[in-house]
Chain A
Amino acid sequence: MTVLTVSNLRHTYPGRMPIAFPDCALEPGDVVAVIGPSGSGKSTLLMLIAGLLGIQTGWVEVAGQIVDTAPGAAGDRQRSRTIGMVLQSFQLLPHMTILENLTVAQFLAGHRPDRPAALSALDALGIADLALELPGRLSRGQVQRAAIARAVVNRPALILADEPTSSLDDEAADIALDLLIGESRRRGAALLIATHDSRVKRHVPNVIALGAGVAA
């Protein structure tokens, strides 16, 4: 089953030129990078797919369901169950322990909080021993791992990563991408990475270049 379908999608911010997004379709296990300079609409694309921005033109389908951006619970529940997100900064809730950051994602997705599953996700990323720490006590790399663990804990069909390697050095960026791609594939999820970091190309052969048409 196709995990993500984007078709005829366009978005216009007030007073700015419309952004046209290339059509794309992702299958389980696919990894695609959306690359473009700042302001090219990478994050807008992720927000549209996640249903966090209203779709003006075109349509988006995630895990067989049209993305619902109408106000109400359906879109929120659909997003939390089918999509996992990794953000560039402010990835974790600061006053919750790492484990609570994962169980809150389970709770808000409408699942029963499952500590063993959350600990297993942390263990897979090598940070199970930090489960009871607050994010402020973790290194940047450890926070990145915890954010990946939270993104996959609900076994989403699609993982959206926004600038996951931003401000990481080469070695840390390689590790972060390896973990993200490895964990997505291990769980059979499709992964869409929005970035302006050309280092991502070394790990992701399928690239959509925004503003320059479909490159792959």
Chain B
Amino acid sequence: MNLLSLSLIGLRGSRLTHALNSLLLGLGLGTVTLLLLVSGAISDRVVRDASGIDLVVGAKGSPLQLVLSTVFQADIPTGNIPLAEADTLLRNPMIDRAAPLALGDAVKGYRIVGTTPDYLDFYGAKLAEGAIWRQPMDAVLGATAARRLNLNIGDSFVGAHGVAGNGEMHAATPYHVTGILGPTGSVIDRLVLTSVESVWQVHEHHHHAEGADTHEVTAVLLHAKTPLAIVTLPFQINSQTNYQAAAPSMEAARLFSTLGFGLNTVRAFAGILIVSSGLGMLIALTTRMRERRRELAMLRLLGARPGQLFTMVVIEALLLAALGAILGLSFGHAAAFAIENWSPAGNTMTAMEMRVRASEWLIPALALGVGLVAAIVPALTAYRTDVAAGLAGSHD
């Protein structure tokens, strides 16, 4: 027997009420945990996926849409730009590294990206097995795409029209897997890479149907040689050409400010849940103090000092808060696991790595803070227990 076991015994009295309050606290903390995991994962993804890409040049339209569709592979492209224009860019002396992207198809939700091997350098991707594409219809798969599509070297597959892969199947032009990349933790893991020529070959009939006689690409990713070039190039491109240059870092910042309102709303909701659970705990403990008036008086009669009763009630509240923290962390991670594993295969926006975050120390700290605040009033009530009054009825 010690103060901890005395507190545990004290909680036996209203198990259901205490369990429900801990559950409520757990839901609030679970929401905060999920927010921490998701915002951390988004932040990681933005940093990894946009790493080394200073500018994206593509068809005019929303610059955010251009960045989302070509850097994060998460939106519909704004359009195409002529290959000749892309070639001019690729030869620009201010450019250190560049990779054209040709989008348009997908296989079971995984986007097929026509590009050059330079694209791999943006993400430091290396072949885990096989070889890079050498001729049209050769394909190299990102690590996740290969695993989820269950494709190996030598296998063939066909793409479907549209970046979501829900259009008509290009059965006449199958791809052949020549290589599989090692995991990088970036967007490239979830892509199917091929040459730009492959994408053109698959879509030859579209070009004929639309009467187009020149080839196009969706965008060009650029890494500038100098910081000055990052500033001057967009100005040059946006003012002198019919296409646009967008900076992923700026667009990501804009995206975060847009998402910020939603995240703040969820944060406020989580805050309300946490405050409600704190109030619930306070009410439950205070009500229990009234019910336990005689019990506390008996403990004093048996020799408990006022400070011991105070500590006992504080420990009870902290135990409930700790339970809430455990539930919160469990709920948060379970929800993150569900998002990570049960979201649609090719949905790259939810393809985030929900790893444990250092910032999760906030959850137990928040829980214990709520527990301490909720404990103060009932603990003082316990401290001030009047033995004679508490045992009234047992004597005259």
Give chain A's interface residues, CB within 8 Å of chain B: 38-44, 46-47, 50, 52-53, 71, 73, 76-77, 79-81, 85, 87-90, 93-96, 100, 103-110, 113, 162-163, 194
Contacts and interface: CB of A to CB of B under 8 A. Distances in A.
26 contacts: A38-B396, A41-B396, A42-B395, A43-B394, A44-B395, A47-B387, A47-B388, A52-B301, A71-B306, A76-B300, A80-B302, A87-B391, A89-B393, A90-B298, A93-B9, A94-B295, A95-B12, A95-B295, A100-B1, A103-B1, A104-B299, A107-B2, A108-B303, A109-B303, A110-B303, A163-B395
A14 to B, nearest CB: 14
Residue among A43, A76, A194 with the most chain B CB within 10 A?
Answer: A76
A42 B396 contact: yes
A108 B300 CA distance: 9
Q: Which bracket fits the contact residues of B?
A: 20 to 34
Contacts, number: 86
Interface in B355-376: none
A74 to B, nearest CB: 10
Label chain B's interface by main secondary structure. helix
B10 interface: yes
Contact of A108 (B10, B294, B302, B387): B302
Contacts of A41: 396
Contact of B295 (A93, A103, A108, A163): A93
B9 A95 contact: yes
B13 interface: yes
B192 to A, nearest CB: 63
A90 B292 CA distance: 11
Nearest to B308: A108
B305 interface: yes
Contacts of A109: 302-303
Contacts of A46: 395
B304 interface: yes
A193 B391 CA distance: 17
B128 interface: no
Given A47-B388, A79-B303, A104-B302, A40 B396 contact: yes
B6 interface: yes
B307 to A, nearest CB: 8
B301 A50 contact: yes
B1 A113 contact: yes
Nearest to A52: B387
A43 B396 contact: yes
Contacts of B294: 90
Contacts of B302: 80, 104-105, 108-109
A105 to B, nearest CB: 5
A3 B306 CA distance: 27
Contacts of B298: 90, 93
Contact of A90 (B1, B307, B387, B391): B391
Interface in B277-300: 294-295, 298-300
B296 to A, nearest CB: 10
A106 B393 contact: no
A153 B394 CA distance: 21
A121 B211 CA distance: 102
Contacts of A81: 303
B394 A162 contact: yes
A80 B299 CA distance: 10
Contacts of B295: 93-95
A107 B1 contact: yes
B175 to A, nearest CB: 69
A194 B395 contact: yes
Contacts of A42: 395-396
A53 B391 CA distance: 12
